[in-house]
Amino acid sequence: MEKALERFYSVFAAWGVPPFVPQLIVMLMVVSVVILFISVSVMFMIWWERKISAHIQVRYGPMRVGGWHGWAQSIADGIKLLLKEDIIPAGADKLVFALAPMVVFAAALAAYVIIPFGPNLIVRDLNIGVLFYISISSLTVVGIIMAGWSSNNKYSVLGALRSAAQAVSYEVPLVVSVLGVIMTVGSLSMIQIVEAQKRIWFVIPQFFGFLIYLTAAIAECNRLPFDIPEAESELVAGFHVEYSGMRFAIFFLAEYANMFTVSAIATALFLGGWHGPLLPPWLWFLIKTYFIIFVMMWLRWTLARLRVDQLMNLGWKVLLPLAFLNMGITGLVLVIHG
Amino acid sequence: MIPPETEIIERTQETMEEMYVNMGPQHPSTHGVLRLMLKLDGEMVTEVVPYIGYLHRCHEKIGENRTYIQIIPYTDRLDYLASMYNNFGYVLAVERLMGLQVPERAEYMRVILAELQRIASHLIWMGTFGMDLGNFTIFMYCFREREKILDLFESVSGQRLNYAFYRFGGMPMDFPPTFLTDCKAFLEWFKPRLPEYDAIMTDNIIFQKRVQGLGKLDQKTAIDYAISGPMLRASGVKWDLRRDDPYSIYDRFEFDIPVGAAGDVWDRYMVRRLEMAESVKIVEQALRDLPPGEIMGKVPKKLKPPAGDIYSRVESPRGELGFYIVSDGSEKPYRYKVRSPAFVNLSVLPVIGPGHLIADMVAILGSIDIVLGEVDR
Amino acid sequence: MTVTQAVFFLLAAFTLGAALLVVLATNIVHCAIALVFTFFGVAALYVLLDAEFLAAVQVLLYVGGITILLLFAIMLTSRISARGVKIMNEQAGISALVVFAILALMVFANLKGFVLAAAPLPASYATASLGRLLLTTYVLPFEVVSILLLAAMVGAIILAKREREKD
């Protein structure tokens, strides 16, 4: 990869073009690859979710569109959403209404900078890797509040504020549960964290950290059992109730992209990233990530929904103390071992 | 007191602190066209007022203009999720009024179909209740079982939902020859399903925490409000018309009456869940003892019950379903009244609803198990 | 004009534009959202200065914490159709005077130059050195700030709890 880049730059240097031009071109190519990967991955995840939910519920799921087990169902749904009428509610704040899905999607997209698909397959190995993801994920909350408020609908605002409260509350145990891993490795960089798991995956020493992280991640993604902000069968509708067509599709896309991101980070931090015998590293990474996504989907279709106050209770009174305990014990063990 | 509509609408547009919230009539969780007006204080519900009548179809007035046998298909559409039981109750009322005798085989047939219907009704209830709380899978599982029961009913009566299968003095048709084996096969399939539902719902701590302690209804209030059925039994009152005021041949069967302790949503759920197992027992005993013979007794061609009145009640899946018929000697009833259990049970919602969060209203309403066809008639 | 300079001017213009929106917009929620973009612009400027950790923390705390709280406060206390706020009031004259005085002071300080208090840290160790400094040289201010935050949290909980018990 490095040598190919060198040759690419030298071509432009030979023509006397300033160096930022090839750098810009490389950046644009990388961004396109990432967006392409996200699109394909999200379409696959949507199809997969429908299949998994169907088989758990003793039915078949999509079977017809595109032939084999309805693999083109997501594409058909995407086209349908694109063709829908773009409705902006009367009295809504047009600019903020249009901006909100973009903010949410931008936050979901930006987190892909630090995902280590393989030993050299990372957009940029920032040395604040994990912290970067944590700070970007708080941008999603701003987008949600914007979406809820701009819909000019009392229930939207309440739903958005509730969702924001949930996201903010579960960010804290998320961060603290990751601290155990960071302390063990001594660095925030994703590549170094994955490299440190050559001998043993961190899920074994940091088992409780892993469980806390998984629970907090499901809550961050607004998935069942923590999906009260989006629950249609409850009284107050969610923050994206007034969005239809492509704008809704962007929210949907962002939610699934988020799911992939948290699973990827769980893989990199706890499940050994790309380490594994026989298969190429990026394949191992994808297998592990999709396994965690499978677990998330499995939980969604099996469990009931937590009520808002029970959700907050769980986050603040159960997960957070456990996460602190985990961090404390990890620190103690590290100090004793020198 | 909830003030009139216009005042409510003016006030709610002012502040973020909601005072009145309207649930329905179009709502995924009100199980039909029911409208609830909630008065809120923050997230806490302080007052609940149900507005009904959206499905009123003048059932009782129509009954006054139809002959007795023409009313039978109308009774199906009362509690459309337990049609066999509506037929059963009405047919029993007229038989008592006229003093008709029903042959043994017909009695056993009636009990088998009625208890299968009870299982089907409780299955729908459990599926939709779970779905309201976010568990979509139990909905699919319960409906799969119900499909098997509906297949049995279709083989017997030709209909999947509104059967009109009971007649005064017996049954119109005998069971098809495959019914016995099919029914036994269904019971064998169904018995291991109940532990499956337990694994998903009953033993799941999220579900338990969602419903325990909610909507408590104590014994005295339940009796004062004339609550009946699983709601009454969940509040600790061991009262089941099949045992305490037996009709048809229910006194010949061995079955338990599950009773709750606290009267909350969890108890109502457990009572219905255990009742399904009891109904399976009753069907098995009835299948075992089903005698051969006639299915229709002696019934006059033109049905003119003697003048008088009668109130006859049965234990439908929702509670005490009562029919009050006043006859003036002609072939149409002078007055025909239905005491619907869901209507009476719903009346206690303003008592058990307040004091909970909005999200709990859905669970409490679901646990009352209403069918709007019966509430509104 | 190098690329870095061009990027700096772009980011600075973006940040300033957003900041101007904060003070000049009539709708208060627009002001809050423009504040989000301002903070983001500042974080980007930190990245240009090689202070990556500070940039991440800026986004995490300011965007993810303070503006969200601000938005909560605005949405829970004002009406849905937030009407415009006044932009200028009668103290415009005096405030203009004060602003120009501060601007003159900042220009003067910039032209005079800053005396470096400590050697700049090598970029790749910035985060680790920051951590080490916080827990060795500057541990006392660190702990004092923690106690201050704890006091603020306890105060907020007591205030909220009291309101709850009132109903």
The secondary structure element, H or E, covering residue B310 is strand B308-316
Q: Is the dihedral of CA B54, B58, B60, B62 positive or negative?
A: negative
Average per-residue pLDDT for chain C = 83
pLDDT digits (tens, 9 = 90+) for A50-99: 999 888 888 888 888 877 888 888 888 888 888 888 888 887 778 888 88
Peptide bond preceding B25 in cis form (omega within 30 of 0):
yes
Q: How far does B3 lie from chain C, in Å, by closest CA?
A: 22
Confidence of residue A122 (pLDDT cuts 50, 70, 90): confident
Q: How far does C79 lie from chain B, in Å, by closest CA?
A: 6
Q: How far does C80 lie from chain B, in Å, by closest CA?
A: 7
From CA B205, how far away is CA C95, in angstroms rounded?
Answer: 61
**For position A305, what pLDDT does the model report?**
83
Q: Which two tokens stand for residue B300?
A: 């006059």
**For position C25, what pLDDT does the model report?**
83
Chain A partners of C57 at a C-beta cutoff of 8 Å? 131, 135
Residue of chain A nearest B130, judged by CA positions: A304
Q: Which two tokens stand for residue B293?
A: 């013979």
Q: How far does C165 lie from chain B, in Å, by closest CA?
A: 13
**For position B8, what pLDDT does the model report?**
55
**For position A232, what pLDDT does the model report?**
52
> Are residues C80 and B16, on separate chains, in Cβ contact within 8 Å?
yes
Q: How far does B350 lie from chain C, in Å, by closest CA?
A: 20
> Are residues B134 and A154, on separate chains, in Cβ contact within 8 Å?
no
Confidence of residue C159 (pLDDT cuts 50, 70, 90): confident
Alpha helices by DSSP H, listed for chain A, are: 2-14, 20-56, 73-82, 94-110, 129-150, 154-185, 190-195, 207-220, 246-270, 281-300, 308-313, 320-337
Residue of chain C nearest B17, judged by CA positions: C76
> Are residues B134 and A57, on separate chains, in Cβ contact within 8 Å?
no
Q: How far does A58 lie from chain C, in Å, by closest CA?
A: 42
**For position B280, what pLDDT does the model report?**
92
pLDDT at A219 over 60: yes
Chain C partners of A128 at a C-beta cutoff of 8 Å? 52-53, 56, 127
Residue of higher predicted confidence among A156 and C157: C157
> Are residues C79 and B41, on separate chains, in Cβ contact within 8 Å?
no
Q: Is the dihedral of CA B6, B9, B13, B17 positive or negative?
A: positive
> Are residues A152 and C75, on separate chains, in Cβ contact within 8 Å?
no
Instruction: Choose, out of A59, A158, A230, A303, the residue to mutate when testing the contact with B (most B CBs < 10 Å).
Output: A303
Q: Which two tokens stand for residue B244?
A: 């305490």
Tell me the percentage of chain A whose pLDDT exceeds 90.
26
> Are residues B16 and C75, on separate chains, in Cβ contact within 8 Å?
yes
User: pLDDT (tens digit, 0 to 9) for every residue of chain B, 377 residues total?
Assistant: 556 665 555 555 555 556 677 777 767 666 778 888 888 777 788 888 888 888 899 999 998 999 988 999 999 898 889 999 999 999 999 999 888 889 999 999 999 999 999 999 999 999 999 888 888 889 999 999 999 999 999 999 998 988 889 989 889 888 898 999 999 999 999 999 999 888 888 888 888 888 888 888 889 999 999 999 999 999 988 998 888 888 888 888 888 899 988 889 999 999 999 999 999 999 999 999 888 888 888 888 888 888 888 999 999 999 999 999 999 888 899 999 999 999 999 999 999 988 888 778 888 988 998 888 889 88
Nearest alpha-carbon partner for A306 in A211, A227, A245 = A227
Distances (CA, A) of C109 to C98, C99, C112, C119, C120: 17, 15, 5, 20, 20
Q: Which two tokens stand for residue B202?
A: 């009953």
Residue type, B253: F
> Are residues A161 and C72, on separate chains, in Cβ contact within 8 Å?
yes
> Are residues C68 and A91, on separate chains, in Cβ contact within 8 Å?
no
Contact of A287 with chain C, judged by CB distance below 8 Å, is answered with: no
Instruction: Choose, out of A49, A59, A149, A234, the residue to mutate when testing the contact with B (most B CBs < 10 Å).
Output: A234
Confidence of residue A302 (pLDDT cuts 50, 70, 90): confident
Q: Which two tokens stand for residue A239?
A: 């923050």
Chain B partners of A233 at a C-beta cutoff of 8 Å? 28-29, 131-132, 134, 362
From CA C84, how far away is CA B336, in angstroms rounded?
Answer: 64
Distances (CA, A) of C158 to A273, A313, B65, B348: 44, 17, 68, 37
pLDDT digits (tens, 9 = 90+) for A278-287: 888 889 999 9
pLDDT digits (tens, 9 = 90+) for A242-267: 788 888 888 888 989 999 999 999 99
Query: Chain A to chain C, count of Cβ pairs less than 8 Å apart?
Result: 76
Residue of chain C nearest A132, judged by CA positions: C56
pLDDT at A233 over 50: no
Nearest to B41 among C75, C80, C167 (CB): C167
Tell me the percentage of chain C whose pLDDT exceeds 90.
29
Nearest to C76 among B16, B41, B44 (CB): B16
Residue of chain A nearest B30, judged by CA positions: A233
Q: Which two tokens stand for residue B39?
A: 């008065």
Three-class HEC string of B127-173: HHHHHHCCCHHHHHHHHHHHHHHHHHHHHHHCCCCCCCCCECCECCC
The secondary structure element, H or E, covering residue B50 is strand B44-51
Chain A partners of C60 at a C-beta cutoff of 8 Å? 131, 134-135, 138
Interface of C with A (CB under 8 A): 3, 27, 29-30, 33, 36, 52-53, 56-57, 59-60, 63-65, 67-68, 71-72, 75-76, 80-81, 124, 127
From CA B69, how far away is CA B67, in angstroms rounded?
Answer: 6
Which chains pack against C, by 3+ Cβ pairs within 8 A? A, B
Peptide bond preceding A173 in cis form (omega within 30 of 0):
no
From CA C22, how far away is CA C24, in angstroms rounded?
Answer: 6
pLDDT digits (tens, 9 = 90+) for B213-250: 888 888 999 999 999 999 999 998 899 888 888 888 88
The residues, ordered by sequence, that sit 6+ positions from B252 with a Cβ below 8 Å of its Cβ are B289
Chain A partners of B206 at a C-beta cutoff of 8 Å? 225, 303-306
Query: Under a CB-based contact definition with an 8 Å cutoff, are residues B375 and B35 in contact?
Result: no
Distances (CA, A) of C58 to A119, A178, A181, A229, C43: 30, 20, 23, 28, 6
Chain B partners of C77 at a C-beta cutoff of 8 Å? 16
> Are residues C60 and A138, on separate chains, in Cβ contact within 8 Å?
yes
From CA A133, how far away is CA A208, in angstroms rounded?
Answer: 21
Distances (CA, A) of B115 to B122, B127, B240, B317: 11, 18, 14, 9
- Packing angle, helices A154-185 and A320-337, rounded to 10: 10
Confidence of residue C84 (pLDDT cuts 50, 70, 90): low
Contact of B355 with chain C, judged by CB distance below 8 Å, is answered with: no
Residue of higher predicted confidence among B134 and C44: C44
**For position B126, what pLDDT does the model report?**
92
> Are residues B16 and C79, on separate chains, in Cβ contact within 8 Å?
yes
User: Token match 């302790």: residue?
Assistant: B261
Interface of A with C in 44-103 (CB under 8 A): 91, 93, 96, 99
Nearest alpha-carbon partner for B368 in B331, B336, B343 = B343
Instruction: Choose, out of B40, B133, B147, B211, the residue to mutate when testing the contact with A (most A CBs < 10 Å).
Output: B133
pLDDT at C98 over 90: yes
Nearest to A58 among B21, B140, B207 (CB): B140
Contact of B42 with chain C, judged by CB distance below 8 Å, is answered with: yes
Chain A partners of B201 at a C-beta cutoff of 8 Å? 304
Chain C partners of A18 at a C-beta cutoff of 8 Å? 3
Average pLDDT over residues C82-101: 80
Chain A partners of B29 at a C-beta cutoff of 8 Å? 233-234
Give pTM, 2 decimals: 0.85
Confidence of residue C74 (pLDDT cuts 50, 70, 90): confident
Q: How far does C51 lie from chain A, in Å, by closest CA?
A: 10
Which chains pack against B, by 3+ Cβ pairs within 8 A? A, C
Contact of A91 with chain B, judged by CB distance below 8 Å, is answered with: no
Which chains pack against A, by 3+ Cβ pairs within 8 A? B, C
Q: How far does B359 lie from chain A, in Å, by closest CA?
A: 6
From CA B241, how far away is CA B315, in angstroms rounded?
Answer: 5
Residue B308, SS3? Answer: strand
**For position B1, what pLDDT does the model report?**
54
Interface of A with C in 107-166 (CB under 8 A): 126-128, 131-132, 134-139, 141-142, 145-146, 149, 152, 154, 157, 161, 164-165
Q: How far does C96 lie from chain B, in Å, by closest CA?
A: 37
CA of residue B252 relative to chain centroid, distance = 23
